[in-house]
Amino acid sequence: MVTKVFKVHKIDIESGGVLTVGLNKETAKNMNLNVGDRVEVFWDKKSFIAVLEVSKKAIPIGTINILRDAWKKFRVPDEVHVKAISKPRSVDYIKSRLLGNPITAEQIREIVSDIMHNRLSAVESTYFVASAYVQRLSFEEEEALTRAIVDEGEVLKFEGGPILDKHCIGGVPGNRTTPIVVPIVAAAGFLMPKTSSKAITSPAGTADVMEVLSDVSFGNDELVRIVKEVGAVLAWGGSLQLAPVDDMLLKLRYPLRLDPISFLLASILAKKFASGAEKVLIDIPLGAKVRSMKAAQDLASRFKRLGSRLGMEVKVVITEGGQPIGNGIGPALEARDIVLTLQGKGPKDLREKCLLLSGTLLEMAGKNDGYSLAKELLDSGAAYKKFKEIIAAQKGNPDIQAEDIALCPKTHDILATKDINNIRYSPDVLTKIARKLGTPSIKGAGIYLHVLPTRSVNKGGKIMTLYAPDDDRLEAVLEFLKEKTFVLDNKQILDTT
């Protein structure tokens, strides 16, 4: 094996998670390495695998350029060794599965570990995900995949129980139930260490919304401390080392905007498992990502089966998902809805959905008539008190009021040009509008729906207000809405003509 010592030159360039190093072209050639090859960079007992760039002149012989993604992740010393890596055996397992053969739990573990440690290229890893289209993963394979994802990261442990959790598969704008459900359940004395994600394609994720109100990035120890102190947390999952390989898998699943169901299930339940959950409620909004009751029921039973193989109790609720929920769409506007709902003043549809979810969770934890208990905890102010404790523990301002939450300065009202009864929105178009206005990165951007779905509005009444950071974005949205001539969907028409 040809290895050499190189002086490290740290380059302040980010390559987007692809660990990248550069060598002199001649040196690489002498080591039998080509540009694009993967090499192992190692020192003491540590190492990482990176993709190779080369240069005739810009990189001196004896020097290795290491780009930021790698030296941020590893404490790289001043000198390192470099060697070529051979193809991992997992390439053969992926090949076999792509040709329609089942693979063992041990082989899946090896594939996932090799993805995690960069030993497989993006192309090789993609074939693993693609193989799920050739032949659906068996229940054994699905379980093995989930456990492998869990095993590549840390697992949280909490004293006392049961540890409750929830997850919504998404697709409904404004559906920000988690920051309301968690304090209701915690107010009843149950532990709910909730980690959430940031938006990828939606106007906001729960972590984007919570960021408006408090910190959301915690180390594992800090998170455990907060849960011990107040019984719950509303954290960003990305700040923890739970199932980190899941983010790498997401980059392989996401580009086509499709998802082999086994990978979706494994991704969701691995994160729940790693965050210590024992009882998990899954919310499948019907009419959003899942379009038929049969598909929703199939998905529900697959969630339950995989959960039970992992030793978790999984319950599924199939909810109405064809329309947005709440008045606000966008991080700050949704944060306003949350504070108002906890104060008893929020949008009715959001409140009802939160009571349904909280009630179900309370029953999973052993309570009778969960809905009534949830209602009592919300109406008595106990949930709001718990929410303030959580916000304070997360270094936010617990006394913040809805109107204190800043929105973007540029606004535009959309008015009804005739009387409308039983109004319907296209969630997809609302999502596009909100994203064009700047969500989720611009917290104060978004849409306020003055008229909730199924309600009525008279000619001249406000249907919605748009919030934008600048005129450019606002005009781009108005232009976009012109193209749509305000008919947002054949069936679901926002009729303003």
Residues contacting 79, CB < 8 A, separation 6+: 5, 6, 7, 8, 43
Chain length of the chain: 497
Helices (H), 189-292: 206-213, 220-230, 245-253, 261-274
If the CB atoms of residues 18 and 286 are measured against a copy of itself, the closer one turns out to be 18
Which of 48, 47, 60 minimizes the C-alpha distance to 19?
48
Region of 162-170, 190-198, 227-235, 255-263 interacting with a copy of itself (CB under 8 A): 255-263
Phi-psi region of 369 (alpha: psi -120 to 50; beta: other; left: phi over 0): left
Query: Measured from the CB of residue 65, what is the shortest distance to a copy of itself in angstroms?
Result: 8
Q: 467: closest CA among 495, 493, 441, 439?
A: 439
Contacting range for a copy of itself; rule: CB under 8 A; set: 14-22, 360-368, 412-420, 457-465: 14-22
| The one segment of 129-137, 143-151, 412-420, 489-497 that binds a copy of itself by CB under 8 A | 129-137
CB of 127 to a copy of itself, least distance (A): 6
> Judged by CB under 8 A, which stretch of 167-175, 249-257, 346-354, 410-418 contacts a copy of itself?
249-257
Token duo for residue 192: 């709910």
Q: Which of 5, 61, 73, 122 is in the footprint of a copy of itself by CB under 8 A?
A: 122
Look up residue 384 and give its two tokens. 């709001």
Residue 314: strand, helix, or coil: strand
Any alpha helices (H) in 286-424, and if so which ranges? Answer: 293-309, 331-342, 348-364, 370-379, 382-393
Contacting a copy of itself (CB under 8 A), which of 252, 300, 306, 354? 252
Binding status of residue 356 toward a copy of itself by CB under 8 A = no
Q: Please say which residue, 130 or 382, places its beta carbon nearer to a copy of itself.
A: 130
Q: Is 482 in the site for a copy of itself (CB under 8 A)?
A: no
Find the binder of a copy of itself among 71, 127, 371, 486 (CB under 8 A): 127
Residue 344 sits in the site that holds a copy of itself (CB under 8 A): no
Specify the 3-state DSSP secondary structure of 118.
coil
Minimum Å gap between C-beta 483 and a copy of itself is 15
Asked if residue 258 binds a copy of itself (CB under 8 A), the reply is: yes
Task: State the nearest-atom distance from the C-beta of 35 to a copy of itself, in Å.
Answer: 4
Round to whole Å and give the CA distance between 394 and 373.
Answer: 26
Interacting residues of 338 by C-beta distance below 8 A, sequence separation 6+? 176, 179, 180, 209, 213, 346
Stretch that binds a copy of itself, among 256-264, 309-317, 364-372, 386-394 (CB under 8 A): 256-264
Q: Are 329 and 291 in contact (CB under 8 A)?
A: no
CA dihedral 227, 232, 238, 244 (to 10 degrees): 70
Sketch the per residue contact string, 41 through 60, with a copy of itself: x for CB under 8 A, - otherwise.
----------xxxxxxxxx-
Answer whether 50's CB lies under 8 Å from 21's CB.
Answer: yes
Q: Does 11 bind a copy of itself (CB under 8 A)?
A: yes
Please, which residues have CB within 8 angstroms of residue 190's CB and are 6 or more apart in sequence?
A: 162, 164, 231, 361, 362, 365
* 433 vs 444: CA distance, rounded Å: 14
What backbone torsions phi and psi does residue 277 show, to the nearest 5 degrees?
A: -65, 140
Query: For the packed helices 139-151 and 105-116, what is the interaxial angle rounded to 10 degrees?
Result: 40
Nearest to 202 by CA among 346, 325, 354, 353: 325
Q: How many residues bind a copy of itself (CB under 8 A)?
A: 50
Residue whose CB is less far from a copy of itself, 15 or 465: 15
Q: Please indicate whether residue 259 is annotated as part of the active site.
A: yes
The verdict on 18 binding a copy of itself (CB under 8 A) reads yes
1 or 399, CB closer to a copy of itself?
1
Asked if 61 interacts with a copy of itself (CB under 8 A), we say no
Question: Crossing angle of helices 206-213/331-342, nearest 10°?
Answer: 70
Q: How far is the CB of 122 from a copy of itself (least distance, A)?
A: 5
**Which of 4, 9, 117, 251 is close enough to bind a copy of itself by CB under 8 A?**
251
CB of 62 to a copy of itself, least distance (A): 17
Q: Does 311 bind a copy of itself (CB under 8 A)?
A: no
Catalytic choice (259, 428, 470, 489)? 259
For residues 169-192, b (16+ Cβ closer than 10 Å) or e, as one string? bbbbbbbbbbbbbbbbbbbbebbb
The residue among 17 and 102 lying less far from a copy of itself, judged by its C-beta, is 17
CA distance 213 to 137: 41
Question: Applying CB under 8 A, which of residues 27, 107, 118, 131 lies at the interface with a copy of itself?
Answer: 131
Tell me whether residue 194 or residue 443 sits nearer to a copy of itself (CB atom): 443
Residue 248 vs 488, nearer CB to a copy of itself: 248
Within residues 81-110, the interface with a copy of itself by CB under 8 A covers: 91, 94-95, 98-100
* Position 439 contacts a copy of itself (CB under 8 A): no
- The reply to whether 198 sits near a copy of itself by the rule CB under 8 A is no
Q: What is the DSSP letter of 126?
A: H
Interaction between residue 487 and a copy of itself (CB under 8 A):
no
Q: Which is nearer to a copy of itself, 188 or 434 (CB)?
A: 434
Q: Which residues are catalytic?
A: 259
Residues at the interface with a copy of itself (CB under 8 A) = 11-18, 22, 25, 29, 32, 34-36, 51-59, 65, 67-68, 91, 94-95, 98-100, 121-124, 126-127, 130-131, 133-134, 251-252, 255-258, 441
